[in-house]
Amino acid sequence: MIEMSGISKAFSGNVVLDKVEFKLADGEIHALMGENGAGKSTMMKILSGIYTKDSGNIKVDGQLVNFKSPKDAEKLGIHVIHQELNILPDLTVVQNLFLGKEKTYGKTGILKNREMEKEAAKLLSKLGFNINPKKRAGDLSVGQQQIIEIAKAIASEAKYIVMDEPTAALTDREIETLFKTVRELKEKGISFVYISHRMEEIFAICDRITILRDGQYIGVRNIPETTFDEIVEMMVGRELGERFPTRQCEIGVTKLQVRNLSVNGLFENISFTVNKGEVLGVAGLMGAGRTEVAQTIFGYRKASNGEVFIDGKKVSIKSPIDAMKYGIGFVTEDRKTQGLVLDFSIQENIALANLEKCSSSGVINKSKQQSMVTKYIEELKIRTSGPEQAAKSLSGGNQQKVVIAKWLGTEPEILILDEPTRGVDIGAKKEIYHIINKLAESGVAILMISSELPEVIGVADRVIVMQEGKLTGEVMKEEMTQEIIMHYATGGEKVGQL
């Protein structure tokens, strides 16, 4: 049992945790929730010895402890699985499992390979995970790698496992496998701290939930006794109202038409249309080829076949520059690797797709740049100390808004949004939905790729579903249910509930 009480922490005078409580019982799955910047990760970094607390107590099994390094925490069985997995793709599963803890003949440094392999096989089968331990870890799916991480924790006799957004990159089926594993380990008395923005998952797997807001402890609830709305209210400190705001919008004529678009080996014969003022959802499992379709429309990938029409006219888009000329904007999936130059300021990032507008004859016009940026910071409610703030120091939700602002600056007529709310907290999510609505109302044709089914159903007017590079279905607003979309996304296989 872990009891953290009165935990405070400040960074250079900036209080990020103020007397926060957190209790983790043995054999429970405990969600830690809060908006970005609420202090969840700081709390977990203190628990795992990465940060030291300024004040407060941590007790493990009733014993007062004081961690000076992650090693100290690990000795007591506290193990963190970070969002970015610590898997070395070129090593085998066994090598990953025993990384840094290799079994050797005495102190010679000579490895006991066979023994480690045997032990790994035993461990994996105990976890109900059938995989060849000699397989290269990079060849596993992200979901399987996640389970390897758990196996690593178990191998080092972890009793408390902290999981940070474990399902962000998993397919629904992988999530099921993960949950099964977690539940089984829970039966054996292992406790989990589960950090996620996905409410459905938390209600599906967690026993209790602790809520933080702005570095403060707000409360703890037993999952069966609380509601979605109560949790959201605790998190944002106010009633959020409708999760998906409605929009009043006339759907106009066809804006974008894609006909038989293919890229060899990735997807084939994709055809669909998006109308002015319409939000077309694109659902499917991870790896179904949705992002690749978007990249191809945007000219970032070369189509091997197919045609694209804008306003009824056939267009040839060979590069993002061409796409932008036709009024297409593309809010990419991964803001850190594709959306932002992290070392750039907010202002420089927003200007990046709008350099022509922010300059005259090649020289950057500071005041033009400034007025554009200030406008979007206000319009999108980007919370920042100013346009000069570095993008990397913003929270996920605000980073996402910067990427959106960059594309709004280009005044797109067609906007592709690829997972627009991934890793974004619930308050910012709603603000992003508002932005989508406003754009649609002003006549922009929107293509929204999303893996969160409630989001697709709540936001899209119509949804197309892809499975393994093929278009498998189209669902109208009235008919949208999670079941029917999943049915198409999995190619008709039966899908269990979460």
Partner 1 sequence: MVNYKNKELLTKLGPLFGLLLLIIIVSILNPNFLSIANIFNVLRQVSISAIIALGMTFVILTGGIDLSVGSTLALTGAVAASLLAGGTDPFVAMGIALVLGLFLGAVNGVIITKGKVAPFIATLATMTIYRGLTLVFTDGKPISNLGDHYTFQLFGKGYFLGFPVPVVTMVISFFVLYFILQKTTFGRRVYAVGGNEEAAKLSGINADRVKIAVYAITGFLAALSALILTSRLNSAQPTAGESYELDAIAAVVLGGTSLNGGKGWIFGTLIGALIIGVLNNGMNLIGVSSFWQQVVKGIVILLAVLLDRKKTA
Residues that bind partner 1 (CB under 8 A): 12, 14, 298, 300, 319-321, 323-324, 330, 332, 337-344, 348, 351-353, 355-356, 358-359, 362-364, 385, 388-390, 393, 406
Shortest Cβ distance from residue 342 to partner 1 (Å)?
Answer: 7
Shortest Cβ distance from residue 127 to partner 1 (Å)?
Answer: 36
**Closer to partner 1 by Cβ: residue 175 or 331:** 331
Asked if 204 and 498 touch (Cβ cutoff 8 Å), the reply is yes
| Euclidean distance between CA atoms 82 and 61, whole angstroms | 24
Half-sphere exposure of 105 (CA within 13 A, CB side): 6
**Closer to partner 1 by Cβ: residue 69 or 125:** 69
Shortest Cβ distance from residue 353 to partner 1 (Å)?
Answer: 4
* Residue with the two structure tokens 């296989």: 493
**Closer to partner 1 by Cβ: residue 446 or 453:** 446
* Residue with the two structure tokens 């038989």: 260
Shortest Cβ distance from residue 71 to partner 1 (Å)?
Answer: 20
**Closer to partner 1 by Cβ: residue 182 or 353:** 353
**Closer to partner 1 by Cβ: residue 27 or 320:** 320
Shortest Cβ distance from residue 232 to partner 1 (Å)?
Answer: 28
**Closer to partner 1 by Cβ: residue 163 or 449:** 449
Asked if 326 and 412 touch (Cβ cutoff 8 Å), the reply is no
Beta-strand pair 191-195/29-33 = parallel
SS3 content of the chain, % helix, strand, coil (to 5): 35, 25, 40
Helices (H), 135-246: 142-155, 172-187, 199-205, 228-236
In sequence order, what are the beta bridge partners of 308? 258, 315
Shortest Cβ distance from residue 441 to partner 1 (Å)?
Answer: 26
Helix (H, G, I), strand (E, B) or coil at 329: strand
**Closer to partner 1 by Cβ: residue 17 or 124:** 17
Contacts of 230 (CB under 8 A, 6+ apart): 221
| Euclidean distance between CA atoms 300 and 440, whole angstroms | 24
Task: Write the single-letter amino acid at 457.
Answer: I
Shortest Cβ distance from residue 155 to partner 1 (Å)?
Answer: 31
Asked if 300 and 256 touch (Cβ cutoff 8 Å), the reply is no
Shortest Cβ distance from residue 360 to partner 1 (Å)?
Answer: 10
DSSP one-letter code for 11: E
Shortest Cβ distance from residue 163 to partner 1 (Å)?
Answer: 28
**Closer to partner 1 by Cβ: residue 147 or 351:** 351
Shortest Cβ distance from residue 310 to partner 1 (Å)?
Answer: 17
**Closer to partner 1 by Cβ: residue 63 or 385:** 385
Rg (CA), the chain: 24
**Closer to partner 1 by Cβ: residue 192 or 330:** 330
CA dihedral (163, 169, 174, 178) in degrees, to 10, reads 0
Shortest Cβ distance from residue 294 to partner 1 (Å)?
Answer: 11
| Euclidean distance between CA atoms 58 and 47, whole angstroms | 8
Asked if 89 and 137 touch (Cβ cutoff 8 Å), the reply is yes
Helix (H, G, I), strand (E, B) or coil at 466: strand
**Closer to partner 1 by Cβ: residue 218 or 293:** 293
**Closer to partner 1 by Cβ: residue 103 or 366:** 366
* Residue with the two structure tokens 């907290």: 425
Asked if 54 and 33 touch (Cβ cutoff 8 Å), the reply is no
Q: Which of 1, 21, 19, 2 is nearest to 10 (CA)?
A: 19
Shortest Cβ distance from residue 399 to partner 1 (Å)?
Answer: 12
Helices (H), 188-227: 199-205
